[in-house]
Amino acid sequence: MTDVAWKELVGAAEAAVLSSGIDPGHALASAREVLAAAERMEAVEPAVIALRAMALASRELGDLQNAECHLRRAIATTGAPAERLAQARLSLVTVRTERGHPLQALRVAALAWSYLSPLDRAKLDTQRAVALAHLGRHQEAIACCDRALAVLADAPGTVDDLRFLAGGLLNRGLVHAYRGRWDAATRDIGGCLDVAQRAGLAHLARLAAANLPFLAVRQGDIPRAFAHYRASEDTLFGFPERLATMRADFAGALLAAHLPGEARALLRLAIPDLEASGARVALAEARLKLAQVELLAGDARQAVSVAEQAKAELASQDRASWVPLAAEVVLRARLVLEPARAELLAEFLACVRELEDHGHHAGSAALRLAAAEVALTLGDEDAALAELDRINANEPAEPGPGAAPAPEPEPAPDSGEGVSGRHLAFAYGAGGGSLVLTRLASRQQAAYLQPGARDDGVPAVVSRHAAALQAALRGDTAAAYRAVLDGLANVGARAGTLEDPSHKAHAVRAGERLADLGLDLAVKGGEPEEVFAWAERWRAVAATGAPAAPSLDAVRTALAGTVLIEFIRHGDDLLAVLISRDRVLLRRLCAATTAAEAVMMLRYGLRRAILGDCATLSRPHEPTPVTAEGAQLEELLLGPFKAELAGHPLVVVPTGALHTLPWSALPSLHARPVSVAPSTAAWLAAQSPEPAVQAVAGSRGGPLVVAAAGPGLEYAEAEVERVLRCHGRAERVAARTGEVLDALDRADVLHLATHGVFHSRSPLLSAITLDDGPLMAYDLLTLRRPPRLVVLSACDSGMAHVPAEGAPLGLAGTFLARGVACVVAGLVPVDDEEAVKVMTLFHELLAGGASPAAALATATARTGTLGFACFGAGNQPLARPATGQPVSPWRPGGSGR
């Protein structure tokens, strides 16, 4: 073989290595050709380089098994130069790590080190960092990257040098993200993206961009996260292992953001592809996340099954620091499935020690809190107090037998303090001092979970919860109250930095158990004023970030002749506080599940009636199945307050399933003004003795009413025409996103006759249909000057998902959160013909000086259309009577919306 031919083969093989990160498919084909030629000519060195190129390309295409086979074949080649064999081992480090053997990967790296040039050693360090990170040795991983990047920054700048420079930045950024250092992570991953794009490394740029979704979630920007995710899905199509890894990482961020439904969907897509590709490290982590999701979603049996599998896989990979995280999920799930026993408490405390031994101090503190609660269920107050003392003193327990030395502490990750549901409620006996705890089988056991994170601090929410529980056990109610308030303030301060309302609402759930404890203390006291105050404090955390309750005197003054009922869930019980001008009453109504089932049955009956499957609703006083269900629900919710209600207008603050209840379907409320508010404080804030619109009415001839008719509705045009003819200052706009958003910033009243869609899992994706596409709740977040009244004559446009009380998410909730005083919207399907009737009459009454709630109540009673509700401050009239043209008689016909 001539030197020229040999050099050409070596050059072609090295070119394939370089192109493996740019066009792995082309690199794989080229390397195969070089290998075949080298074997024919018995050229050892080109063959080794070609095998390495084939391995790198296979790895990029997600074929980890073949990647390892190619590298092992290269390493086993007899007579190859030592440096070329060391380079093959360099590439094997990452593949071996991803296949589930990070400790072996470090041994491979040690074998390569002596035979590599200083530049190649820097490249090896970027690969060693991956193995170290998966073993939980984060500081060593950062040091490897720092050392490597210092060398690579001064390298000649070949494509390969730039690939490793970008890869080192990416790896360091991921370790920073894992430690909760989001600014540093964003800088490094952004730097990787910049280097890759400038060097033409399109594939590496795609991999860097695939990390943007989870970074956006952790920085509180959910819409941007999903936009990045959709872009990454497109660019990673054809790379199933890379796409699956991106999905699993994104799912972990969504889990930390308290979005378990979305996380579960992504993990169920990712896990089969990770299994198929042999990416065992990523697979074990994905299983751990899925186990945590199943626990938070309420499927404890599935959580145990998946967590046990993850635990076994992590142990087989020598990832001792991860194993206790899986064990924690198993224990928390068992506490849901089994009665508390002394043996289970011992297992909890053993897991606490393991978490501490491996640096998971936030997780160990949260699990210690759960252990204290288990001790209380067993009646062992001394053991519970001992564990609570350790949390408050931030003292780790004594190491268990054979425990490894605790690693060097690392900075605490950002937030991640999650909570789902509750499993304990507090009820004080007549003696006043002792605390009796009972399991609530209907609620999921709480879990403070942070997938894989390590830190050295006790989360404030856990510390305050422990302090409050400790004080309550010792009979110091005032100290318990202070600790709960401190904890809620901390949660609110964190959530207050978030712009996205759905992320904020989910983030405040970290304080849910604290709020439960404050409510328990208030219920124990038996004073309705205090129960009301604690319910409002919790709602305020979700709305404003500050746990503050409104003044009862201010509420009573604003109510005048109206009565307010705030519904509160306490454990499995539904409570209600009634406030009027002269009294405050507290009543225990029924089981919360009973009320939720009754709401579901009523909604089902209404849907059937509206869609024509059962008796008509045109005469609601007749004894149809719907009115019977309404009467039953009314007895549950309002029965204890019959005398106090006595025909008064009503303000309702719902909880849970009551957010989906069309209140006018309750017989006594058919013709009664009802305003539905997210909280008493929100309703009070929307009041004004003389609305701004009234001042406008006096000088310009009434409020400006703008309306639009959406596509696909037979009678939307007629409805808009009739609505506008009711008002002195009226304007029609095209049903296009830009025109409607513009109208929202200048109208006093906006009326939209459209189709509506509610997304229960992603409520800010709920939308009304316009000519140029959907107008989503997310689009409303930019409103500058919101109208006083918005009318959504559309199906389900008033529906809401409520991850935390005080923050209903959906179209109506978003309008209220952006400053709209009142929203009239549908809670069930709306028949097109019936919508025209009720909306025409509603606007006639509104123009005549009636308040929105009164106008809707009268229109509901006269037409029998029960599916609309008035949200917010519906008790304030918009203007004095305005002169409009007469409305022509209505002729029936119709479809649905």
Q: Cβ-count burial of 31 within 10 angstroms (0-12 exposed, 13-18 middle, 19+ buried)?
A: buried
Q: Give me the pLDDT at residue 115, please.
A: 95
Give 406-416 pLDDT, tens digit per residue: 333 333 333 33
Q: Give me the pLDDT at residue 627, please.
A: 75
Q: Which 3-state string (H, E, C) describes 549-618?
A: CCCHHHHHHHHCCCEEEEEEEECCEEEEEEECCCCEEEEEEEEHHHHHHHHHHHHHHHHHHHCCCCCCCC
Q: Strand, coil or helix: what is 877?
A: coil
Intervals of the chain under pLDDT 70: 1, 218-223, 394-458, 612-625, 688-701, 879-897
Strand locations in 393-461, DSSP E?
424-428, 435-439
Backbone angles phi, psi at 48, to 5 degrees: -65, -45
Q: Give me the pLDDT at residue 670, please.
A: 87
Give 258-276 pLDDT, tens digit per residue: 777 788 999 999 999 999 9
Cβ-based neighbours of 253, under 8 Å, separated by 6 or more: 213, 214, 215, 217, 218, 225
Q: Cβ-count burial of 408 within 10 angstroms (0-12 exposed, 13-18 middle, 19+ buried)?
A: exposed
- pTM summary value: 0.70
- CA-to-CA distance for 477 and 470, rounded, in angstroms? 10
- CA-to-CA distance for 460 and 362, rounded, in angstroms? 9
- CA-to-CA distance for 622 and 254, rounded, in angstroms? 49
Max alpha carbon distance in the chain (Å)? 106
Q: Which residues are bridge partners to 792 per DSSP?
A: 752, 825
